[in-house]
A and B are shown apart, each in its own frame.
Chain A
Amino acid sequence: MNRRSFLGGSALAMALPSLLLARRGQAAPADGELRFVFVFAAGGWDTTRVFAPVFDNPDVDMEGLAEPASEGGISWVDHPERPRVSAFMRGNAHRMVVVNGILVRAIAHEICTMLALTGGSSGLDPDWATILAHAQADRYTLPHLVVGGPSFSGEMVTSVARTGSSSQLAGLLSGDILQWNDRYIGSPSAPVESAVDRFVRRRAVARAGSSHSPVDQALASTFAAATQAAQGLKDYQYIMDFSAGTSLSDQARVAVDALRLGLCRSVTLGFAGGGGLGWDSHADNDATQSPLFEQLFIGLGELMGLLDATPGEDGVSLADRTVVVVMSEMARTPQLNATLGKDHWPYTSMMLLGPGLAHGRVLGGYDGGFGGAPVDLASGDLYEGGSLISAEAVGAALLELAGIDPGDWVSGTEPLRGILG
């Protein structure tokens, strides 16, 4: 008898709905009201340093000073060098779900990134954040704002824009970027720019209406829409600051501003600790990962604090409207290598916070070889006859949470409905 069949006939099963309700903690808003923030840690994090407290597995190199910790159904790895990690977990367990043992079917950064974010490896498909945003493209000036990290827009390119790691978008909107120029001559005055803008918009609309073929029509219409979106963004520059660097705190501020003002539905943030693949700790794993986790969770704390403190357009706290997904494209081997580093590992973890989730749950897990443990995707319970959790299963569940049919985007797996509250 497995856990699932046991529950099927037990008194516990009768009590399950009320337990789930207690976990949920807050009612999910209507599908269409949800917003999404994706936080991406590029390079491959070491799940054994936070999300996977596998102290009972002798084949996994845990840190010497690390201890298991838990709060409100969430368990994690506590370490004296990472007090802010534990503070965050304790403070947010009531609105968090952790998924362990997620299989990304590769061990190369670029392919894993595509798989984790899109479910495919071509790079031609839109990522989850873009699909979620594009579904409501008519409601937002810029449905998906990429403040940091990778993004894949597929055919939904008009729904996505990047801010740039040196505040390039802010400079483009204000025109200040014209001074980033070794041959700077001058720039148009506001009235001149406005007059030219109007001229360009008229031509764009006219051009979209005079296309000679479907391909041409699609491109010209996309250009007209992009021109409209660009103008919309210019208007936003007066009420929010798009400047964001590589620090998660700065990026969080831009994200919350954009959500507060209803500019976008999805925001992607990146935290790589100085750029590139900061988490890629093939040598000196702990000297790399430990401070990165601490900084990541400081940034996450600031993000959640801002979401808590900021009402959206309808007056409801953004935290009650926003699902935050924290992820890395892969994980790291359970054992240290000869240079005290860790190499690539295809089973990773993900942390999700916000409304509509099964709060206080850790789903999935790791087997004796530190591979993913199979689960019943519907409930999220460990189940020997179940399926390995894939990034696609989590992505599909997020789409379902937002009222989007995941079947349009994901095949070969059911959504991991166990994460849903």
Chain B
Amino acid sequence: MVTLLILLSCTSEPEPVPAAMPEMSSAELLTRLSLDLRGRRPSPEELDRVQGDPAALDALTEEMLYDPAFEARVADLWSEVFLTRTETFYVGAEDYGLPDQATFAASVGDEPLRLLARIAAEDRPWTELVTADWTMANDTLLAAWPLQGEQGSGWRPAQYTDGRPAAGVLATNGLWWRYTSTTSNANRGRANQISRILLCNDYLVRPIEFERNVDLLDEEAVLDAINNNPGCVACHVSLDPIASYLYGFWTYVPDSVEEASRYHAEREPLWSTVTGVAPSWYGQPGSSLADLGAQIAADPRYPECAVQRTYELLLRRPVSVQDVDRLAAHREAFLDGGLTLRSLMRSVMADPNYRAGATDAEGAVPRKMVSAELLADQVEALTGFRWEYAGIDMMGTDSVGLRTLAGGADGSTVAASATRPNATLVLVQERLAQAASWYAVASEVEAERSSRSIFREVDLAAPASTDEAASRAQIVRLHALVLGDTVLADGEEVEAGLALLAELSSVGASPPVAWAGLLSALMRDPDFLLY
């Protein structure tokens, strides 16, 4: 896409120099950066820092780029591209004697994302995504698959012990369990996922005009058409050779644990009998998955796609022709930064479109909406509450959970995350806010004030009217924590909060419940979704 856009730009008139785009306030920008990089809102202290000294934003941005939460945020962001977080695979936890299917499915889908995230967090070059001789695993995957992991807990580096080639995500079970193939498909669907995810070139969005003079019932005629018919050749000439690299992941019995778990090096030459098309990458021959990884890593479209993806993920909109110059600048920053994702994200986050304030300029993103994952993350950071039911992440799944109702994508029934709120998202926001607020108040009501994170200003067991000054201070703190707003203790926001507390008290709410009600109300604010 980027290449195409650059070509398009060559034929058009030079763009007029745009007027300086207004930037959002330092507090708004800090909130956006903090959510994008850490999955949580800035602390009141951080807000004070940038409001007192806007130049402090740069230092804070650097701190956030190296925050421990950055790695998981990168995985969340790219989950919208990889779409591997599904709940159903041919092989399940019970096939391995593991007790927890939800954790198993979540682990499988996260494997390639965690590999990518470690590369980002450790400033490894983007090329390692397709050349790494390691993967990432947690205890679940280590117990299931032929993996040798480093000592420790949680997600950690690991290596497959089945002799599979070094090819980063291309050699992960997680990717190919999500994207399976069939005899007739012959790995072409998988090849397209490589192209879609890593080159931003999705063959499947191209309209197909089936030649009516090709007898689709005749296998030889179809094969001939694939090789010689211009309408077919346009895609198959480049797609089929990529598919031929992937036979090490070929399974004869997809739901066999033994088949699905390990790589089958002995099947790599199967292409010769299935399609007869030798492995190659746009004309460059190769023989193993490692060759494919190296070829992708050397392809200039590969970093260009990373730039495009990062831009789209951080702005939450598709790229357009107007973005060509900006994408070129970010590509330079990416190259100059040693192809580290951190350098690319730093560049995109300095983009005027990312930082746009009150403007109707085309391409500017003065507001965007949180994803389902980010909504869950910021609630957890604020309250300590993660919505789980029987161990299932309610905001990250669909069979029982609420992901698609909250605007998330499952990659099949919902193709892409929502970028605008709807009724079910608002309802999810409501119930999540209630559950988290009640949890937070229950967690803090008995705790010493100094050890609380939210309700430091008030005695939660006493009516708000007992100490109005403290209640006002608490409401000011709630606005800062939940919405990143600085409000005055005698301002209308605080008056509205006090009025709600009084109303809740009048309908029988105990003081803790009234505070929980106010906290939930603020977490249901539009600006808790829009940032």
Please give the residue numbers on chain A whose beta carbons come within 8 Å of chain B beta carbons, in ascending order: 42, 59, 103, 105-111, 114, 121-124, 142, 149-153, 155, 157-162, 164-166, 168-169, 172-173, 175, 177-178, 180-189, 191-196, 199-200, 203-204, 207-208, 212-216, 218-220, 222-224, 226-227, 229-230, 232-233, 270, 275-277, 282, 333-335, 337-339, 343-346, 369-371
A207 touches B526 (CB 8 A): yes
B405 touches A169 (CB 8 A): yes
Give, as a whole number of angstroms, the nearest-CB distance from B526 to chain A. 4
Q: Which residues of A contact B360 (CB under 8 A)?
A: 213-215
Per the bound structure, the CA–CA distance linking A124 and B385 in Å amounts to: 33
B513 in the interface (beta carbon within 8 A):
yes
Give, as a whole number of angstroms, the nearest-CB distance from B397 to chain A. 10
Q: List B residues 151-210 near A (Cβ within 8 Å).
A: 182-185, 189, 192, 204-210
A195 touches B504 (CB 8 A): yes
B73 in the interface (beta carbon within 8 A):
no
Give, as a whole number of angstroms, the nearest-CB distance from B403 to chain A. 10
By beta carbon, the residue of chain A nearest B442 is: A185
B14 in the interface (beta carbon within 8 A):
no
B420 touches A157 (CB 8 A): yes
Per the bound structure, the CA–CA distance linking A303 and B179 in Å amounts to: 35
B421 in the interface (beta carbon within 8 A):
yes
**Contacts A110-B412, A152-B415, A172-B428 given: A189-B509 contact, CB under 8 Å?**
yes
A343 touches B184 (CB 8 A): yes
**Contacts A110-B412, A151-B414, A165-B398 given: A158-B500 contact, CB under 8 Å?**
no
B426 touches A103 (CB 8 A): no
11 examples of A-B residue contacts, CB within 8 angstroms: A108-B192, A158-B422, A168-B400, A183-B385, A186-B442, A191-B508, A213-B360, A215-B365, A215-B367, A222-B422, A282-B183
Partner of B504, one of A155, A180, A192, A333: A192
B496 touches A199 (CB 8 A): yes
Q: Which residues of B contact A165 (CB under 8 A)?
A: 398-399
**Contacts A188-B513, A192-B507, A229-B423 given: A111-B204 contact, CB under 8 Å?**
yes
Question: Would you call the interface of chain B mostly helix, strand, loop, or mixed?
Answer: loop
B37 in the interface (beta carbon within 8 A):
no
B357 touches A212 (CB 8 A): yes
B189 touches A157 (CB 8 A): no
A105 touches B504 (CB 8 A): no
B88 in the interface (beta carbon within 8 A):
yes
A213 touches B207 (CB 8 A): no
Per the bound structure, the CA–CA distance linking A155 and B418 in Å amounts to: 9
**Contacts A157-B421, A192-B507 given: A105-B207 contact, CB under 8 Å?**
yes
Give, as a whole number of angstroms, the nearest-CB distance from A5 to chain B. 22
**Contacts A105-B210, A192-B509, A223-B426 given: A199-B521 contact, CB under 8 Å?**
yes
Per the bound structure, the CA–CA distance linking A343 and B219 in Å amounts to: 13
Per the bound structure, the CA–CA distance linking A192 and B360 in Å amounts to: 39
**Contacts A165-B398, A207-B526, A212-B358 given: A181-B423 contact, CB under 8 Å?**
no
**Contacts A188-B517, A215-B364 given: A220-B530 contact, CB under 8 Å?**
yes
Give, as a whole number of angstroms, the nearest-CB distance from A140 to chain B. 12
B438 touches A187 (CB 8 A): yes
Partner of B517, one of A196, A222, A230, A344: A196
Partner of A149, one of B185, B204, B413, B418: B413
Partner of A155, one of B216, B420, B424: B420
B10 in the interface (beta carbon within 8 A):
no
Binds A, one of B46-54, B293-301, B306-314, B388-396: B388-396
By beta carbon, the residue of chain B nearest A118 is: B415
B204 touches A110 (CB 8 A): yes
**Contacts A108-B189, A162-B405 given: A192-B205 contact, CB under 8 Å?**
no
Per the bound structure, the CA–CA distance linking A335 and B107 in Å amounts to: 39
B204 touches A181 (CB 8 A): no
Map CB proximity to A onto B335-372 as digits: 1 under 8 Å, 0 otherwise: 00000000000000000000011111000111111000
B387 touches A219 (CB 8 A): no
Q: Which residues of A contact B204 (CB under 8 A)?
A: 106, 108, 110-111, 121
**Contacts A150-B414, A195-B500 given: A223-B405 contact, CB under 8 Å?**
no
By beta carbon, the residue of chain B nearest A177 is: B431
B416 in the interface (beta carbon within 8 A):
yes
B389 touches A182 (CB 8 A): yes
A369 touches B216 (CB 8 A): yes
A161 touches B422 (CB 8 A): yes
B415 touches A123 (CB 8 A): yes
Partner of A142, one of B390, B423, B428: B423
B427 touches A230 (CB 8 A): yes
A164 touches B405 (CB 8 A): yes
Give, as a whole number of angstroms, the nearest-CB distance from A326 to chain B. 18
Excluding A114-B415, A213-B357, 17 further A-B contacts by CB distance (< 8 Å) are A42-B413, A105-B207, A161-B405, A165-B399, A169-B427, A180-B394, A195-B517, A200-B524, A212-B366, A218-B420, A223-B421, A226-B426, A230-B423, A230-B426, A232-B423, A334-B217, A343-B185
